């Protein structure tokens, strides 16, 4: 089973390629990454999508999230991953575990969970009947729904109307991405793909 330590060792053992190195050009020349975030979106450059080397045993098509580092890795093919920056849950709300991509939705609707409403009724009570998808919806342009044992976990990998939150622990448990980045991931990942969140 893939552990966080094994995954971290797999990245550390191979080293992170840089855009200036010939190795990077070789592994990433056929992978088209999304553009830098739009003007006014202030995220650190390390949270832009980056192609890098990982151990070859990581399953192509899978997603691995290292919450403490605010990174999501999509394994493109053996030995190659795209790393994206994410925002994750606040300390007490960080989701961890193995799941699969159970559903994918463009411009998803959103409804806060009962737990969210209970924790912060001032912010969420008014949305208890739901909110249609669109540019002002908190789930942004795309949502990837995570399932365990055939059941929706209520955890999503989704876009955001707060892109400056990327790289921080601020959500109610979901994994936020810049809209351009989640669209890129959405187009790559398949239904049923394994996801591991550490």
Q: Architecture of 4-197 per CATH?
A: Beta Barrel (2.40)
Residues belonging to the chain: 198
Domain segments of the chain as ranges? 4-197
Q: What integer pLDDT is reported at residue 13 of this predicted model?
A: 38
Q: What integer pLDDT is reported at residue 114 of this predicted model?
A: 85
Q: What integer pLDDT is reported at residue 48 of this predicted model?
A: 93
Q: What integer pLDDT is reported at residue 129 of this predicted model?
A: 83
Catalytic positions, written as ranges: 158, 174
Q: What integer pLDDT is reported at residue 122 of this predicted model?
A: 87
Helix (H, G, I), strand (E, B) or coil at 162: coil
User: What do you get for the CA distance between the two ends of the chain, in Å?
Assistant: 13
Helix (H, G, I), strand (E, B) or coil at 75: strand
How does pLDDT run across 118-154, given as a tens digit for each residue?
888 888 888 888 888 899 999 999 999 999 999 999 9
Q: What integer pLDDT is reported at residue 80 of this predicted model?
A: 96
Give residue 90's Cα distance to chain centre.
Answer: 15
> Among 93, 84, 97, 94, which Cα is nearest to 179's?
84
Model-level pTM? Answer: 0.83
Structure-token match 């010939």, residue found: 22
Q: What integer pLDDT is reported at residue 39 of this predicted model?
A: 64
Instruction: For the chain, list residues with pLDDT below 50.
Output: 10, 12-25
């Amino acid at each position: 089973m893939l552990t966080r330590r094994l995954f971290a060792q797999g990245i550390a053992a191979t080293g992170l390629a840089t855009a200036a190195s010939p190795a990077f050009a070789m592994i990433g020349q056929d992978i088209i990454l999304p553009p830098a975030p739009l003007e006014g979106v202030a995220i650190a450059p390390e949270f832009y999508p980056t192609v890098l080397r990982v151990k070859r045993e990581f399953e192509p098509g899978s997603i691995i999230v290292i919450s403490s580092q605010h990174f999501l890795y999509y394994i493109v093919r053996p030995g190659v991953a795209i790393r994206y920056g994410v925002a994750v849950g606040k300390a007490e709300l960080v989701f961890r575990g193995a799941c699969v991509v159970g559903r994918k939705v463009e411009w998803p609707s959103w409804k806060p969970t009962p737990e969210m409403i209970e924790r912060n009724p001032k912010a969420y009570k008014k949305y208890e009947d739901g909110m249609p998808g669109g540019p002002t919806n908190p789930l942004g342009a795309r949502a990837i729904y995570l399932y365990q044992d055939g059941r929706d976990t209520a955890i999503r990998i989704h876009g955001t109307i707060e892109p400056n939150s990327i790289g921080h622990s601020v959500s109610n448990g979901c994994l936020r991405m810049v809209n351009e980045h989640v669209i890129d991931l959405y187009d790559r990942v398949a239904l049923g793909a394994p996801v591991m969140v550490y």
